[in-house]
Each structure stands twice: as structure tokens, then as C-alpha cells.
A and B are shown apart, each in its own frame.
Chain A
């Protein structure tokens, strides 16, 4: 089993394998996002409480999911790297923070634009908002540690250990709205008793989320290919 995995863990081969997957991701993501945008902006009904502003949800919630999912991905890849020591895992994990930080920024900005009409302020220091801000700083820290160890052998290890330590923040974010009574509304889609959201809003949200997720994968895969090529450049230029 491990030996089979090892065959695909060869960076050059991996780079070739993800080539078609990457393109499929891009060409499904773009139409899905377009459909999601059109339904979400013009055809979905307004909320009975929040009115038209609920349309911000389609981009806000989808990017929030992506930013959390990205961290889980980094965490898993780091754990795999520490167990099996394939450098490919950490190479993949290192490419995620930069993409994820943009999605976290989108989440925070759209969230505050959603908060102004519904709560009356752009920003409150409540549990979920603060913990999401901390997530942003943890991503920044991960990028920073990658840069600080650029030509050091221990960089990979430091990166993966830091991402494992930072994973403590993820459950805090996920459950912050359930544990504390805060301004932010509790989870309404992913919860034990099934979604509490109107089906007409759920459909565009799901389409949008799938589209953005595929786009995220496209960006990650492209970055991974670049990183593999970068390694190759380093190898070639240090050869003689």
C-alpha cells in the first residue's frame, strides 16, 4: 500500500497527474459560479427577516467554509507528512495558506458589509468574528514561517508542527456560535438535525459553494505545479 503510494508521491509524476484534474476543476467551476451568481442575485427570494441583504450569504458563507476547509486540509497534509515523511505532502500544504488567506479576507469583508444593515455596525468583537480574525493571523503566521525558513532544512517540520498547533482554533470557530450567545446567527446548514434553511436559498448556496470549492482546488493545484517546478529549478541551478 505504502509502496504504491510512493510511486505517485514522485513530484514530477504528480504534476502530470493533476494536470487534467486541474482543468476539469476550472471548467466546471466557472459555469457553476456563474449559475450560482445569477440565481443568487436575481431569482432567489429575499429573507423574511433580513430582506435583500441575505444575498450576501451566497459569497460570505461559501468563502467561510472554504477558509475553514483549507485549514483542515493543511492540518491533514501536515499530519500525513509527519507520519510518512513524503516531502510532497508538505509541499502541497505550503501552497494552501496564501490562497486561503484571500478567502478569509473575503469572508471578513463581506461579513462586515452584511453586518452593517442587519446589526447596525460593521464590526463587533464577538466570539465568531474574533476567532475568524485569529484564523487570518494564523494563516499569516504560516506564510511567515514558510518565508523565514526558506533555505533551511527544518522549514518543513516547523511548518507542519505550527499548523498542528494552530488547529486548536478550528473547533473554537466552528462551535463559537453555539457555545456563546453572540450576535452572529448559529449554524443553519451544517448541523446535526438537518439544515434549517429555505430550500430555495439552499440550492444557490450549494451551487456557489461547489463552484468556489472547485475554483479553490484549481488555484491550489496550479500553485502546487509551480512549486514543483520551483524545486526543479533549484535542483537544476545547484547541479554544477
Chain B
């Protein structure tokens, strides 16, 4: 248990290192979600429009 704590403490610099990695992770996840949600939304719209235009191709 204390060993694990040592790893997380990082010689007293734990706060900076872990918050940096935390920020990195959170921002990347948010970006990922934004990109994927946009794709989903657009595909939904496109599907609807293609159905309305009875199988539009090119």
C-alpha cells in the first residue's frame, strides 16, 4: 500500500504530474467525443435525406 502511494507521490511532485496527465486525458476524451458525436449527427441527417430522395447515388 505504501509502495503504491510512493509511486503516486512521485517525490512530492505528484500533484503536478498527475494533474498534467489528467488535463491531457480529459481534453483528449472531450475532443474525441465531439468528433464522434458530430459524425453520428451528420450520418443521421444524411441517411434521412437519402431516404427522402429515394436512394440518391452520386
Contact = CB atoms under 8 A, between A and B. Distances in A.
Contact of A239 (B38, B53, B58): B53
B1 interface: no
A12 to B, nearest CB: 7
Contacts, number: 81
A116 B16 CA distance: 8
Interface residues of B, number: 29
B16 A113 contact: yes
B18 to A, nearest CB: 9
A236 B56 CA distance: 9
A237 interface: yes
Contacts of A114: 16, 20
A230 B42 contact: yes
A118 B10 CA distance: 14
Given A51-B13, A229-B43, A237-B49, A223 B38 contact: yes
SS class of chain B's interface: helix, strand, loop or mixed? helix
Contact of A106 (B19, B23, B39): B23
A205 B21 CA distance: 14
A116 B15 CA distance: 11
Interface size class of A (residues with CB under 8 A): 35 or more
SS class of chain A's interface: helix, strand, loop or mixed? helix
Nearest to A40: B21
A53 interface: yes
User: Which of A46, A53, A56, A113 is packed against the most chain B CB atoms within 10 Å?
Assistant: A113
A73 interface: no
Interface in B12-49: 13, 16-17, 19-21, 23-24, 27-28, 30-32, 35-36, 38-39, 42-43, 45-46, 49
Contacts of B49: 233, 236-237
B14 to A, nearest CB: 8
B35 A223 contact: yes
User: Which of B7, B28, B53 is packed against the most chain A CB atoms within 10 Å?
Assistant: B28
User: Which of B11, B17, B50, B53 is packed against the most chain A CB atoms within 10 Å?
Assistant: B17
Contacts of B11: 46, 51-52
Given A106-B24, A114-B16, A233-B46, 20 more contacts: A46-B11, A52-B10, A55-B10, A59-B21, A59-B24, A63-B24, A102-B30, A106-B28, A109-B27, A110-B23, A117-B16, A219-B31, A222-B39, A223-B35, A223-B38, A230-B42, A233-B42, A233-B45, A236-B46, A236-B56
